[in-house]
Amino acid sequence: MSNTIDPIPTYDVVVIGAGFAGIYLVHKLRDDLGLDVKVFERGAGIGGTWYWNRYPGARCDLESDSYSLSFNDEIEQEWNWTERYASQPEILRYVNFVADKLDVRGNIELNTTVTGAVFDEGTDTWTVTTDTGASARARYLVSATGILSVPSMPTFEGMDTFAGEIYHTGDWPHEGVDFTGKRVAVIGTGSSGIQSIPVIAEEAASVTVFQRTATFTVPAANRPMTENERKATKRSYKQLREQMRRSQVGVLLEPGIGNFADVDLRVVRGELERRWRGAGMSTSMVLSDNLRSIEANNYTSQFVRDKINEIVDDPAVAKMLEPHDYPIGTKRLPIDTNYYDTFNRDHVSLVSIRDTPIERFSPAGIVVDGREHEFDAIVLATGFDAATGALDRIQFEGVDGRLMKDEWAEGAKSYLGLASPGFPNFFTVTGPGSPAILTNVIGSIEHHVEWIADYISYLRAAGITRTEATPEATERWTTHVAELAAMTLYPTAASWYMGANVPGKPRVFLAYIGGLHNYRDRCEKIATDGYPGFTHDGGTGLAARAEAVAAEV
């Protein structure tokens, strides 16, 4: 703490959230820049998404050695992943290992939810308030609130009358839940439902899945990592990480073999079959234009529908499980362990609520189409108010009393996903308009943290006390993000990428689709050119240069 007279503790930077982003921010800003950093974290522990999402079967959909931090050799070499796709408990152990290695716990205040932040134009600082009464002031405010951190809670009639237990996958009890002998309902068939349903079915007396939209999923082919694999990865980490940074999505997926119109479909079929046996997300990318051409996409989609019909014994159930409502890949493609097979088990059943929605909850269960289904427990796997949800819940008050939630009422607008006009000295890690949600999020986090740290360092060196994204640069970036998305099939799906899963949320595509590699280049050029698109006040030489460059761009 640098100020002992002010009743509000003052820091150089306040960070909101102690997931991977918050932890790395502390390290980068404190240890590399020598800044005084304070983090407020809502949870009683660190880890963000991996702290809250403890539902049965929760695991990463990217391979462990990709979904891990790259900036520290010691962490990279000492940590041993045990499975190809790490489970939630293992990732949470990893987060804690990283926090101990970097010695960041002293900077983090747990059990403290940030409720508001007000920018003071007199001092160019933010004052942050929390639900515990703790407050803090800082020149810079950085949100590291995560993309999938606010569970989306449906509001079914009679929910409070249900006599059994109701759980949300995104806010799972820390002590775990014993479903042995219980009749369990699961509502929702996105990644969380798809991962949890087979595991819940292992212990429950019965599982009934309520499906609104049938989902494409491909086999994870998860398995233990061998010691040899671990050693080989550790030896080649340097090159692997560099390739990931230079890739479209920040992870090494198998490339497409050509466009639909140009390739022999027998070859495509063979390749789909090969990838189905263990290529995870790359399975849907055999055709290079899968996300641009509906013909290509139909071919891949039909391949998965055929697989469903091969796997599922009851043709009527297979029919219900066949996805027809969106092109494959335009929603995050889950990777599963025994999802479709689970519907062959006698105690697992499927209820389609596509045409006959849930009418209400009753004390005994769930009523659909006039029929009451009885349960002991109901699991809501209904997703998240993604990307903007956590920011909307904080009262950010920028210049002239401007509120971020008003500014974003028609859809989030940001410059590079990192900053917004009217909110000076405020940066968002994995914000809307960045590529984060379409990438290996750890790669995006590392990029954003490093870019923000470099920028803060630049501002301090120049004596600039206030920076803000310009409305013009923000408008250009937001338009560019939307135009790129419109060139793909993504906007045709009612996905959380589009904000479509939350009633009343504006339908705006939330990510830059141009690729992590291109985004990195763009951000680097902006830094090299003196940060065009940002205003610079209070500085001297460097600031004047930056403004001259900005005027030219």
Least gap, CB of 45 to ligand N01 (angstroms): 19
Question: Which SS3 state, helix, strand or coil, does residue 532 take?
Answer: coil
Among all chains, which residue has been given the structure tokens 């996409």? 297
Least gap, CB of 122 to ligand N01 (angstroms): 42
Bridge-based pairing of strands 114-120 and 108-109 is unpaired
Least gap, CB of 231 to ligand N01 (angstroms): 26
Least gap, CB of 32 to ligand N01 (angstroms): 29
- The span from the CA of 251 to the CA of 438, in Å, is 11
Nearer to ligand N01, 118 or 353 (CB): 353
C-alpha radius of gyration, the chain, whole number: 24
Nearer to ligand N01, 148 or 287 (CB): 148
Nearer to ligand N01, 334 or 421 (CB): 334
Nearer to ligand N01, 383 or 389 (CB): 383
- Cα–Cα distance list, 489 to 281, 294, 429, 433, 510 (Å): 17, 7, 26, 18, 14
Nearer to ligand N01, 154 or 532 (CB): 154
- The span from the CA of 169 to the CA of 154, in Å, is 13
- Cα–Cα distance list, 532 to 289, 299, 524, 544, 552 (Å): 34, 44, 11, 11, 9
Helix H or strand E encompassing 396: strand 395-397
Nearer to ligand N01, 381 or 516 (CB): 381
Among all chains, which residue has been given the structure tokens 């949870």? 43
Nearer to ligand N01, 29 or 498 (CB): 498
- The span from the CA of 510 to the CA of 527, in Å, is 23
Least gap, CB of 48 to ligand N01 (angstroms): 12
- The span from the CA of 508 to the CA of 147, in Å, is 15
Least gap, CB of 215 to ligand N01 (angstroms): 6
Question: Hey, how many other C-beta atoms are within 10 angstroms of the C-beta on 174?
Answer: 10
Least gap, CB of 433 to ligand N01 (angstroms): 17
Of 217, 170, 491, which Cα lies nearest the Cα of 328?
Answer: 217
Q: Which two tokens stand for residue 91?
A: 């990732």
Enter the DSSP assignment of 225. Answer: P
Nearer to ligand N01, 424 or 491 (CB): 491
Q: Is the dihedral of CA 272, 214, 56, 149 positive or negative?
A: positive
Nearer to ligand N01, 9 or 278 (CB): 278
Q: Is the dihedral of CA 20, 24, 25, 27 positive or negative?
A: positive
Question: Which SS3 state, helix, strand or coil, does residue 460 take?
Answer: helix
Least gap, CB of 176 to ligand N01 (angstroms): 17
Question: Which SS3 state, helix, strand or coil, does residue 493 take?
Answer: coil
From the number of C-beta atoms within 10 Å of its C-beta (0-12, 13-18, 19+), residue 158 rates as middle
Least gap, CB of 224 to ligand N01 (angstroms): 18
Least gap, CB of 313 to ligand N01 (angstroms): 23
Q: Which two tokens stand for residue 550?
A: 């900005």
Amino acid at 299: Y
- Cα–Cα distance list, 546 to 152, 206, 466, 527, 550 (Å): 42, 64, 13, 10, 6
Q: Which residues bind to ligand N01, rule: CB under 6 A?
A: 60-61, 148, 154, 169, 187-193, 195, 212-213, 332, 353, 381-384, 496, 501
In the complex, residue closest to ligand N01 by CB: 190
Nearer to ligand N01, 75 or 494 (CB): 494
Angle (CA) 183-188-190 rounded to 5° is 130
Report yes or no: 70 and 241 within 8 Å, Cβ to Cβ: yes
Nearer to ligand N01, 126 or 340 (CB): 340
Nearer to ligand N01, 23 or 60 (CB): 60
Least gap, CB of 303 to ligand N01 (angstroms): 21
Least gap, CB of 528 to ligand N01 (angstroms): 33
Nearer to ligand N01, 64 or 478 (CB): 64
Q: How remote is the C-alpha of 64 from its chain's centroid?
A: 16
Q: State the angle between helix axes of 294-311 and 265-276 in degrees (0 to 180), rounded to the nearest 10.
A: 50
Least gap, CB of 285 to ligand N01 (angstroms): 17
Bridge-based pairing of strands 114-120 and 395-397 is parallel
Helix H or strand E encompassing 127: strand 125-130
